[in-house]
Every structure is written in structure tokens, then in C-alpha cells.
Amino acid sequence: MMETMVLIAGAIGLAVTAAVVPLLIPFLRRLKFGQSILEDGPSWHAKKQGTPTMGGIAMLLAVGLGAVICAGSVRGLAVTAGAMLFGLIGFVDDYIKVVKKHNQGFTPLQKFSCQALVSLIFALYVYFVERRSATLVPFVGAELDLGVFYIPFVMLVLLATTNSVNLTDGLDGLAASVTTVAALFFAVACAQRGEADCAAVMMAVVGACLGFLIYNFYPAKIFMGDTGSLFLGGALGCAAAAAGLELFLIISGFVFLFETLSVIIQVISFKTTGKRVFKMTPVHHHFEMCGWSETKIVFVFSAATAALCILSYLGL
């Protein structure tokens, strides 16, 4: 029964997203909700200017419906609600961008403050309502109890995951492809640990990403925007926290982490030595500058994530 509901959640995520996005594309075009391209990004990305954005709305609807029907618990709905709050932050950020017609939404402080607030709320929920204060250590088979320090730990996990997925969303199909693989791992891991509600939410995310990729793979007809990337990062982070699998995000989601690290390394290197380690960051742009096509980068990053997810599974 558990396996059936998890699979149904995935089917709902796929079907709803695949059905809603074709309706969303012309609607967003009529509203002139097109993507603005960063001036300091790769010059060849200029052709993507005006491509409809905020497509993550479809994924929010799909995962929300899948969770309501299949998650079957307060915790499953709480994970979905946490992810949707992150998606709401992204939606407001996207709305500011498209209305002002430039690629600046929230200020960094505003965006971080909103994310920190949602992270705190979810961390308090996990600690006080779910009574969870321990995280499973990969390859050890034992849990590390952090006590009250579990609250800032979960906050850090959520902030890191949401912003890392956000940074990864820079090429057609990249964030959705890598998230599909990572979410599939967490769906399997949660199911194996008897966490059916979290498994259902993760499988709904898998389905939603696959449905979105039909229109987002190169050349993209629509972008997910911060609405989608913050939602997906929130879904991964919240599900991992609810199931006590936070440390597995480091392994299975290392591609996301590396995207963030590349930016940090670049900034530190340039400020201290005046030299750049990468040709451009986040690191997917470095590979573009090296001559890799977008589809090759998506394939390699997704394959690397698949290999890391297999390693994570062995560490359960």
C-alpha cells in the first residue's frame, strides 16, 4: 500500500505539471512575464531574454496536490507547506523582477531574512512537534543527537539547500534534472526507513520535475524562476530534516553544494589574490566557457548526482 501511494504521488506530480505548463506558457507571455538575463552572465544567454519565467507555479500545484492525496499525515503536509513557503519567497522575488523588468528582485538581506524566518519555523516544528533532535550519520548507522542545537542545524541545512538549488538553476533543464535524481534518492531512502509521507512528497517532486523538463529542457520554452528553484530546494531540505537525513544532502546533493562553493571560492580568491579560480561562476558557467554545451553539462551533472546518490544509498 505504501509503495502504491508513493508511486501515485509521482504520477500526480508528472501529470499535473505536464498538463499545467502548456497553459501557463501563453498566459505568462500575455502578462509579459519574461526572464531578464544578467548583464554579467554569458553573452550567448541574451537570446533567452523574454522566455516565460515563474513556471515553478506548476510544480507547486502538482506537488501540493500529490501531497494532499498521498502523503496522508500532518508531517507530509508540513514538509509540503515548508517547501511552498520557500516557493512563495521565490514567487515574490520573481514578481518584483518581471514587473520592474530587470534582474533584481529582493535585496540580498530581504531574501535571506525571509528564508531564515521560514527555516526557523520549520526547524521549530521538527524539534517541538516531531520531537526530532538527531540526524543519521552516513555509513555509521547511528544517529547524532544535537539536542537544542538541532534547531540552528536544520536552519543551516534549509538555507544552504534552497540557495544552492537556486544557484544551480542557470541552464536549461539543469536544476530540474539534478533535483529529479536527488529527490528520487530521498524518496527511496524515506520509503526504506518507513517514512511513507516524506517518500510520497519526494516522489511528487520527481514527477513534477519530469513533467517540467518536457518544456524546460534545451531549448527551454519556460523557466522555473526563483519560484521553482527555492521550492525544490525547500522540498529537499524539509523532507531530509523531517526524516533525519540531513547529512545525506551533502553527498547526494554535492552538485548543488559545489555550485555554491564555486562562488565562495571565486570571491575569496579574487579578493585575496586578484585572480579567479574559475572562468565564471556558478561553476556550470565555467564549463560553458570551456566549450561544453548546455545539454552536456546537464547530462554530466545529473550523472554525477546519480553516482553520488548510489553512494548515499550504500551509506544508509
Contact criterion met (CB below 8 Å) for 104 and 97? yes
CA–CA separation, 302 vs 193, rounded Å? 25
Angle between helix axes 174-192 and 196-216 (nearest 10 degrees) is: 160
pLDDT score, position 43: 57
* Alpha carbon distances (Å) from 197 to 5, 66, 151, 247, 249: 9, 11, 22, 20, 18
* CA distances for 287 relative to 195, 282, 283, angstroms: 38, 10, 7
Q: Look at the block and give the residue holding cell 523582477.
A: 97
pLDDT for the residue numbered 292: 95
Which three cell numbers mark 315? 551509506
Distance from C-alpha of 168 to C-alpha of 229, rounded to nearest angstrom: 8
Measured distance CA(160)–CA(152) in Å, rounded: 12
pLDDT value of position 103: 60
- Residue for cell digits 546519480? 306
DSSP secondary structure letters along 30-55? HTT-BPPPPTTS-GGGGGGTT-B--T
Collapsing DSSP states into helix, strand and coil, what is residue 143? strand
Q: SS3 for 155? A: helix
Residue 38: its pLDDT value, please? 57
- Nearest alpha-carbon partner for 191 in 14, 63, 316: 316
pLDDT tens digit sequence for 121-178: 999 999 999 999 999 999 998 999 999 999 999 999 999 999 999 999 999 999 999 9
User: Residue 292, SS3?
Assistant: coil
E strand residue ranges, the chain: 134-136, 143-145
CB distance 12 to 207 below 8 Å:
yes
| H helix runs in 131-173, sequence order | 150-168
Nearest to 204 by CA among 84, 53, 74: 84
CA–CA gap between residue 60 and residue 278 (Å, rounded):
34
Q: Integer distance in angstroms from the first to the last C-alpha of the chain?
A: 23
CA distance 34 to 45: 14
38/49 Cα distance (integer angstroms): 9
The pLDDT score that the predictor gives to residue 36 is: 65
**What pLDDT sits at residue 106?**
81
Identify the segments of the chain with pLDDT beneath 50: none
**Parallel, antiparallel, or unpaired for β 143-145 and 134-136?**
antiparallel
